[in-house]
Structures are given as C-alpha cells and as structure tokens.
Amino acid sequence: MISGSVRRERMGPTIAGWVAAALDTSIEVDRIDVADVTLPDDSLLFPGGGPKSEIADRIAAADAFVFVTPEYNHSYPASLKRLIDWHYGEWRLKPATIVAYGAQGRHAAIEHLRGVLAELSVVTTRRVTGLREPWASLDGQGRYAPDADLTRGLTASLTELRWWAEVLADARRDRPLST
Ligand SMILES: Cc1cc2nc3c(=O)[nH]c(=O)nc-3n(C[C@H](O)[C@H](O)[C@H](O)COP(=O)(O)O)c2cc1C
C-alpha cells in the first residue's frame, strides 16, 4: 500500500489505516508512506527510472498495489508522482487499485493516476474508491468510519485486486512479455 500525501497535518495515514483494516489477514502488507521515503535528486532521473531508490526492492517484491491518494488541484500530489517516476520495471505487469479522497473531488485524482499507471503497464481495477470529505466521518478515536456502503465498495475493489494479483503473478512467471 502506498500512501501519497506528505503534509504535516494530513488525512493520508487515517485513510490508509481504514484500507489496511479491510485487507484480508492472509495477505502480507507492506505500507509505504511517501513522507518516509527519501528519493535521490531528480536531476539523476532518466527514462525508465533512475539509480536504484531505497524502496525499489519493496516495490519490486509486491504483487499488487493500493494507492491511497488525496486530490490536489484536480489531480494527485506531486509527491506521489515523484515516487512513481523513480521506478519503472518494479511496477510492470502488476495490478493496482486506487483510494482517493478530497474536499469535493477525487475522480480527477483517480483518472489521472490511472492514465499514468497504464503507461507503466499497471492494470487498474474497474472498481476504485472515492471518498468525499473523509474528515467528516471520524470516530471518537480519530479513525475513518464511513457508511457501510463505502467499506463494502472498498472490499469489492480489493477482491478484484486479489484476482488480478494472482492471475498476473502466474502470467509474469509463465508468459514473460518481451515488449
Ligand atoms: C494543495 C492542495 C490542493 C487541493 N486541491 C483539491 C482539489 O482540487 N480537489 C479537492 O477535492 N480537494 C482538494 N484539496 C483538499 C484535499 O483533498 C484535502 O485537504 C485532503 O485532506 C488532503 O489530503 P492530505 O490531508 O492527506 O494531504 C486540496 C488540498 C491541498 C493541500
């Protein structure tokens, strides 16, 4: 799971906690918070990634991704785009789902992210999750506690993600794609 916001006072970890609670306990989950990652200077980037980053092996080890992202100015944040651009083969031929949140928007962040992921040969699930004003649905402990419909929708997208993860893990092993 990759959480894309880095602001000091942010919703990202709260939403990531909600997603983590919905994941099947049989799944091994690696939580990457972009705020904890130091990437090299962008002057070193080249097409297809850059020098190996400190989290390249963690991304490479994953069979699927959940992107948790806010919407900033009708898209997803630059912090997340940087993390994506710093890797290339690590993403390839794997599935992802997206959980986006915002004040009014979230669809633009989702669709912009889908387009970028497609360029990296990442398949996104049909079902994705968009949360409007999640800060209005916190429980007494500050956890995100939305209507059951939203949690059901998230679970459906995670079920779809797991199907893709299994299918594509087999395909990467048995039918390598050379192009
Ligand atoms: C720079 C900036 C731009 C934003 N632009 C949008 C926007 O275009 N649409 C929207 O719905 N919310 C927008 N918001 C509200 C954020 O989605 C909301 O503050 C959210 O909590 C941000 O995620 P974070 O707390 O994890 O950083 C914006 C917030 C920031 C800081």
Express each pLDDT in 99-135 by its tens digit: 999 999 899 999 999 999 999 999 999 999 999 999 9
Of the chain, the end-to-end C-alpha distance in Å amounts to 27
Report, in angstroms and rounded to the nearest whole number, the Rg of the chain calculated over CA atoms. Answer: 16
Q: What would the two tokens of residue 24 be?
A: 């099947």
77 lines ligand 1 (CB under 6 A): no
152 lines ligand 1 (CB under 6 A): no
Is the pLDDT at 179 greater than 80? The verdict is no
Mean pLDDT of the chain: 96
Q: How far apart are CA 121 and CA 53, in angstroms?
A: 20
pLDDT band per the 50, 70, 90 thresholds, residue 49: confident
If phi > 0 it is left, if psi is from -120 to 50 it is alpha, else beta; for residue 172 that is alpha
Is the pLDDT at 38 greater than 90? The verdict is yes
- pTM beyond cutoff 0.95: yes
* Nearest ligand 1 atom, CA 15: 26
C-alpha 84 to ligand 1 mean position (Å): 19
C-alpha 13 to ligand 1 mean position (Å): 14
15 lines ligand 1 (CB under 6 A): no
Nearest residue (by CA) to ligand 1, atom 14, is 72
Residue 101 host element (H or E)? strand 94-102
Q: Identify the weakest region by mean pLDDT among 45-49, 75-79, 101-105, 144-148.
A: 45-49
Write down the pLDDT at residue 141: 97
76 in Cβ contact with 109 (< 8 Å) = yes
Structural fold of domain 2-174: Rossmann fold (3.40.50)
C-alpha 139 to ligand 1 mean position (Å): 21
